Structure 1
Amino acid sequence: MNTRLRLITALVIGLVATRPMAASAIPADSLVIRFANRTRLVIYAPDKAGIQALANYDLNKIVREMGMQLDSLPDGKTAISREGDKYLKDTVLVIKKKDGVTIEINRSGDTTWTETIQHKKDYTQSKRKRGGGGSSFDYGLSIGLSNFLQQSVLPVYPENSYALRPIGSRYLSLAMGAMPTLVRGKRASLKLYYGLELAWTNFMFDADVIPERTPTGIAFTDAGRELRKSKLTVCTIGIPVVPRLTFYNSDGRRIGHIGLGGYVNYRIDSYRKIKEADGSKDRRHSNFDLADYRYGLMAHLGIKSANFFVKYDLSPLFVAGKGPDVRVLTFGIGL
């Protein structure tokens, strides 16, 4: 018989029994716990009052603290019996696991007491939210805005020549990765998020300028006409690594998280896109003297189902001496 079943049986019997049962005594009542995987736990008590006293106990807490993982029990039927067929079926405890966990005590087929002790949370959902499996797969979409933070002023690159439109400079990324649990507690757990991220950062210029690569570096040339749009797009692939502290309420539901880590990105493509006033477009690919590698810091903040992020490049966007000395700041939400 499964050792865990023996352990939980012994504990529940200790809670409900008021005196030891003699070897020859016929049980006045039986308690049958049916799990979703068809495993049964049968418990004898001296009387119905002993079984009904279970209402005073938090069975979920007992199972959780003893490390019972109901969805990992072996298939097949398991029972604890005395003399084989002397089960009295006038009292039955049924645990249903679908939309919630419900306890029902029936007497002679009639329901006499019903209580839902866990709403809209089965063990599988709780295991996923609490990270009970030790690791979980994570993927998602992030959208946000980017801006330049100037580090030093270069006469050849006046700041107004490459100033950005705040709303037009958008960020988009697709990420996938793992998030194993390093340390688990009742109200908090330490996880480590790492993975692979494909991102597009769009720098839309506020002035009517055209970014061009020259022998001395990138130039932001005045177009001499009104442009509907002028932007420089950088596509990167990167590896983020963010330790994350996740918090839970007394029911085991995740209420938020906070994380701080870093990332390394590699530029795989870059291009400029000009949209004229008449709607015509000009798109040209080049490296525009952009740095191939970028690295920086990343912060995560989660409040219930809302996820926010901030990224800051510690490395310059352009090759030193061939572009303005700027860093990139990006912030947004994760979906």
Structure 2
Amino acid sequence: MKRGLFLVAIATAWLMTLATQAKPLSPTDSLVIRFANRTRLVIYGPDKASIQALSNYDLNKIVREMGMKLDSVPGGPTAISQDGGRFLKDTVLVVTKKQDGVTVVISGTNDSAKTPDSQKDKDDQQYKQASERAKRRREGNNFDYGVSIGLNNFIQQSTSVAYPEDSYDLRPLGSRYFALSAGAMPTIIRGKYASLKLYYGVEVAWNNFMFEGNNVAEKTPTGVAFPDAGRDLQKSKLTVCTIGVPVVPRVTFYNSDGRKICHIGLGGYVNYRLDSYRKIKEADGSKDRRHSDYYLNNIRYGLMAHLGIRSFDFFVKYDLSPLFEVGKGPDVRTLTFGVGF
């Protein structure tokens, strides 16, 4: 019974504050509610009709919309709970009606249960700054720097007697990919929970192809060859350095607070070869590096896909163009996958 009366009293105080709208109140037109524990709740109104009009309102609905609830706590008293804070007796509700809605402030004599105005202002400022940053990320032409690491593999297109597949098998973990990129990402279509963006930029990448066994890359008058070195090697690899232009449309998804959840993208790229070399590390640790084109295609192009989760950007790249010139090397395409930061 006490819980219901207290609920009605709180809602009634809020309604009367709205009804007065800052007009001078006369203490002669009032409603006094007494509780068994000698607690009194006094409601003032401009006239008796205002108090009688309270019967036209759904008090339970009003209290629910205020976001408050009544909790029974050990010892018998009833407490108001809002946003995790608890307020016992001598609780004051200040209700302010504005054009954009109603503001309810709860305070009490227990200082530990009150949120200082300075802390509230600080929290509001932090929320505002976070919202503005999220808005800039959604709407702005974000300029982005990135580092990508991954692994390479060959995809065989056709076999050739001159180039048996086991002569250029790759070590899975040794055939690494590394890239530095810079690009922009303007928003094309913007929505509340999703937006379409276009990522484009410039990328400098190093594809390392580390061979299994003791095979080495050699340039001959008729094409590239991968003969056995005839001795034990720690490692043997072919490295290709390229500069490229990726273009990837992305769909980015957001939650109700405007924060990014993830993004997906599918696009393409064009690369131009800047340098290439083969590197051998002997069993005794000595190294031999020789620069040559090794009949590699100067221009490579392909498809790429992105999947972004938080600050990580997983990617897959597949060359549609052959790695080597036709008839000068094995008919292989490059598959690269990894993660960007």
Q: Quick one: percent identity of the two aligned structures?
A: 64
Q: What is the Cα deviation at residue 246 of structure 1?
A: 0.2
Q: Give the 3 Å change call, closer, same or farther, for CA 271–190 of structure 1 in structure 2.
A: same
C-alpha offsets along residues 160-218 of structure 1, whole Å, 9 cap, x if unaligned? Answer: 00000000000000000100000010100000000000000000000201111111100
Q: Quick one: which of 94, 102, 105 aligns to 1:54?
A: 102
Q: Which amino acid aligns with 1:55?
A: T
Residue 67 (structure 1) aligns with:
none
Q: Give the direction of change, closer, same or farther, for the CA distance of 1:18–1:152 in structure 2 (3 Å limit).
A: farther
Query: What's 1:282 paired with?
Result: 288
Q: How does 1:174-185 map to 2 (within 5 A)?
A: 174-185=180-191
1:101 is aligned to 2:147: no
Query: How far apart are residue 93 of structure 1 and its match?
Result: 11
Tell me if structure 2 keeps the 8 A contact 1:176–1:195: yes
**How many Å separate the matches in 1 of 2:309 and 2:131?**
23
Q: Distance in 1 between the 2:281 and 2:234 partners? A: 5
Structure 2 residue 189 is matched with structure 1 residue 143 = no
Residue aligning to 1:127: 135
User: What amino acid maps onto 2:307 in structure 1?
Assistant: L
Measure the CA separation in 2 of the matches of 1:143 and 1:135: 25
Match of 2:271 among 265, 269, 278: 265
The equivalent residue for 2:339 is 333
Q: Name the TM-score, length of structure 2 as normaliser.
A: 0.66
CA distance in 2, matches of 1:18, 1:231: 82
Structure 1 residue 314, shift from structure 2 partner: 0.3
Equivalence for 1:105: none
Which stretch shows the higher mean deviation, 297-306 or 181-190? 297-306
CA RMSD, 1 decimal: 2.8
Highest CA radius of gyration, 1 or 2?
A: 2
Report what 1:61 is aligned to.
Answer: none
- Counterpart-to-counterpart distance in 2, 1:328 and 1:18: 73
- The residue correspondences of 1:1-335 to structure 2 (distance < 5 A) are 49-51=95-97, 54-55=102-103, 96=121, 100-101=123-124, 118=127, 122-129=130-137, 131-132=138-139, 134-335=140-341
Q: CA deviation at 1:293?
A: 0.3
SS in structure 1 at match of 2:261: strand
Q: Distance in 2 between matches of 1:124 and 1:280?
A: 56
Please give the TM-score of this superposition, normalised by the length of structure 1.
Answer: 0.67
From the superposition, tell whether residues 155 and 250 of structure 1 become closer, same or farther in structure 2 (CA, over 3 Å): same
8 Å contact kept, 1:231–1:273: yes
Task: Measure how far apart 1:124 and its partner are.
Answer: 3.3
Residue 235 of structure 1: CA displacement? 0.1
Task: Give the Cα–Cα distance (whole angstroms) in 1 for the partners of residues 220 and 268 of structure 2.
Answer: 33
The residue type equivalent to 1:54 in the other structure is V
- Number of matched pairs: 245
**Retained in 2: the 8 A contact 1:174–1:197?**
yes
Return the offset for 1:227.
0.5
Q: Secondary structure at the match of 1:255?
A: strand
Give 1:127 deviation, angstroms: 2.1
Q: For 1:297 and 1:186, how far apart are their aligned partners in 2?
A: 29
- Identify if the C-alpha distance between structure 1 residues 19 and 178 changes in structure 2 by more than 3 Å, giving closer, same or farther: farther
TM-superposed CA distance for 1:51, in Å, is 4.0
Cα offsets for 1:59-106 (capped at 9, x unmatched): xxxxxxxxxxxxxxxxxxxxxxxxxxxxxxxxx999846xx426xxxx
Tell me the SS of whatever aligns to 1:155. Answer: coil
Q: Distance in 1 between matches of 2:248 and 2:121?
A: 38
Q: Which moved more, 1:137-146 or 1:299-308?
A: 299-308
* 18 and 191 in structure 1: CA distance in 2 versus 1, 3 angstrom threshold: farther
CA distance in 2, matches of 1:193, 1:95: 39
SS in 2 for 1:128: helix
Q: Which amino acid aligns with 1:50?
A: T
Pair 1:19–1:183, CA change in 2 (3 A): farther
Q: Is contact 1:18–1:50 with CA below 8 Å preserved after alignment?
A: no
